[in-house]
Amino acid sequence: MSNITAPTRFLEANGEKYAYRRFGKGPGRPLLCLQHFTGTLDNWDPAVTDPLAREREVVLFDNAGVGRSSGTVPKTVAGMANHALAFLDGLGLDGCDVLGFSLGGMVALQMAQDRPAIFRRMILVGTAPRGGADIMHLDKPSLAGPLADPKLRGYAVLTKIFFAPTASSQAAGAAFVGRLALRREDLDPPSGPEVAAAQMAAFRDWERPADERFADLKSVRQPTLVVNGVHDEMIPVSNSFRLVEHLPNAVLLVYPDSGHGSLFQFHESFTRHAAAFLSADSPSASY
């Protein structure tokens, strides 16, 4: 019942072979987890997935062209949403819950617009609406510095860019990286530059607003929990402000002293809030 040990499985659907993991059980609906920029199945923190798996199945998913999934990484969020819908159809999952982190939150929003009945409740962490501001500009100084630092190799760069520059947040980042390293076998290959380039194209497309900025959010009526770290350099918290201002039924939870990876830094709090939100049965997002 852990992402440290759950076997990777494969599903043939939509002419592709999708890599995924599925573990946990309980009374809750299955929770589809949609991953961040260049992230694979191995980037899901067991301190987040495993507590949630105690009350439901957790389904981790490599979108097309990522990890061991076949195909090409789409250059739009809409293309990624198509793959995720085909994956859920192939798995026979209808009306599940979703946890979308960063790029994964955008994919979840697009899926909810493309097929409104697909999700019952949504958790969107560190993400942005279409037409959001300052989405993943890795060339700005706060991100370009760590990304170009030759002393930061592998996961160490995540500590710098996912966490705030305080001692407490950096310590949480080191613990996060340590937890990711607990899985030793059956690993995804890390994403290469072609994955990054296609996903970055999708971010640039997502920044362009629809006809009326944020009007597309009005149709997303699922109870939604929006979560963000207040010092998020990758997708600033203002994007979460815009989400709750325009989504008709969303609660916002903002964490202090944290960046993009607030859910990993405050994993005990986050999983407690997420579980309370997912187990609520009210039409309101309040929990």
Which residue shows structure tokens 């699922």?
222
- The phi-psi region of residue 49 (left if phi > 0; otherwise alpha if psi is between -120 and 50; otherwise beta) is alpha
The correct pick among 116, 178, 192, 286 for binding a copy of itself (CB under 8 A) is 286
Specify the 3-state DSSP secondary structure of 144.
helix
Q: Tell the smallest beta-carbon distance from residue 173 to a copy of itself (Å).
A: 15
Binding of residue 251 to a copy of itself (CB under 8 A): yes
Nearest CA to 271 out of 56, 112, 109, 107 is that of: 56
**Residue among 72 and 168 whose Cβ is closer to a copy of itself:** 168
Q: Tell the smallest beta-carbon distance from residue 225 to a copy of itself (Å).
A: 10
Instruction: Specify the DSSP class assigned to residue 14.
Output: T
The correct pick among 38, 76, 249, 279 for binding a copy of itself (CB under 8 A) is 249
**Residue among 85 and 227 whose Cβ is closer to a copy of itself:** 227
Residue 155 near residue 147, CB atoms below 8 Å? no
The H or E element spanning position 9 is: strand 9-13
**Residue among 108 and 253 whose Cβ is closer to a copy of itself:** 253
Residues 120-179 that bind a copy of itself (CB under 8 A): 168
Residue 44 near residue 6, CB atoms below 8 Å? no
The correct pick among 136, 244, 274, 278 for binding a copy of itself (CB under 8 A) is 244
d(C-alpha 32, C-alpha 150), whole Å = 35
Write down the H helix ranges in the chain: 46-52, 77-91, 103-114, 141-148, 156-162, 167-180, 193-207, 238-246, 262-265, 267-279
Q: Tell the smallest beta-carbon distance from residue 58 to a copy of itself (Å).
A: 22
The correct pick among 195, 266, 271, 278 for binding a copy of itself (CB under 8 A) is 266
Which residue shows structure tokens 């990890």?
67
Binding of residue 254 to a copy of itself (CB under 8 A): yes
**Residue among 155 and 266 whose Cβ is closer to a copy of itself:** 266
The correct pick among 47, 64, 103, 237 for binding a copy of itself (CB under 8 A) is 237
Residues 3-62 that bind a copy of itself (CB under 8 A): none
Binding of residue 205 to a copy of itself (CB under 8 A): no
Residue 220 near residue 237, CB atoms below 8 Å? no
Q: Tell the smallest beta-carbon distance from residue 226 to a copy of itself (Å).
A: 8
Give the x-and-dash track for 206-235 against a copy of itself (CB under 8 A). ------------------------x-----
Residue 250 near residue 243, CB atoms below 8 Å? yes
Instruction: Specify the DSSP class assigned to residue 155.
Output: T
d(C-alpha 143, C-alpha 155), whole Å = 15
Q: Tell the smallest beta-carbon distance from residue 249 to a copy of itself (Å).
A: 5
Residues that bind a copy of itself (CB under 8 A): 168, 230, 237-238, 241, 244-245, 247-257, 266, 269, 284-287
